[in-house]
Structure 1
């Protein structure tokens, strides 16, 4: 009887520990966030073209990331959950090198929505980059 209880206790402890460790594949962090639109004044002379060559279209759920976040797992087409926004966003663009620890949320051509978003700190969650 004692052996069964001991095994049960060990199994329960392992289950609890594995639940705590099991989330190692995701990263959750706070970043600064702003919003941008496909207007030449906010991007480049090609306002519908992302830094990796993707065509950006109004209505897409995508973001630009500061380059320091790319090695952490936010490379091209990475899926990101953003606190306060529904669904997942795809990384389709990179920000200027001067920015760090920041995302820029794509708002298509909706300048009003981008201004209303303003600048705020958000929590993002994404998959950890696999080491090769």
Structure 2
């Protein structure tokens, strides 16, 4: 009986640690990147407020991430580097659940810059999650 209990405890512990390590397992990931703006035509009546309540301001290096990336270990406040762009970007917004392996780069009110960015494949590197 004692061996059975120990076996169950070991199984539970190993599953717990393996789930935790999966959640923070990636350091680099290839994703699709688009861009968005804080204008009413692209959001709602409060275009400067992100999904977690953060106030977005032009010039911020912020991104929205698809929810599957949140399940992989990214969270509000995570910092990432995006291939092809300078500096670090902070996860401050999340996307509709229909998207996967996708980020949306915040470009303030510069709609032209967002359209010029278009849709690209990039690699994100987690700096801090």
* Alignment correspondent of 1:114: 114
Q: Could you say what the CA RMSD is over the residues aligned between the two structures, in angstroms?
A: 1.7
TM-score (norm 1): 0.76
Gapped regions of structure 2 (runs ≥ 5): 1-23
TM-score normalised by the chain length of structure 2:
0.77
Equivalent residues, number: 106
Which consecutive unaligned segments of at least 5 residues does structure 1 have? 1-23
Alignment partner of 1:84 is 2:84: yes
Distance 2:128 2:57 in 1: 27
SS state at 1:114 partner: helix
Is contact 2:51–2:93 with CA below 8 Å preserved after alignment?
yes
Structure exhibiting the larger radius of gyration computed from Cα positions: 1
Matches within 5 A, 1:43-58: 43-58=43-58
Distance (Å, rounded) in 1 between the aligned partners of 2:123 and 2:48 = 27
SS in 1 for 2:27: strand
The list of structure 1 runs, each at least 4 consecutive aligned residues, that deviate by more than 2 angstroms after superposition, is none
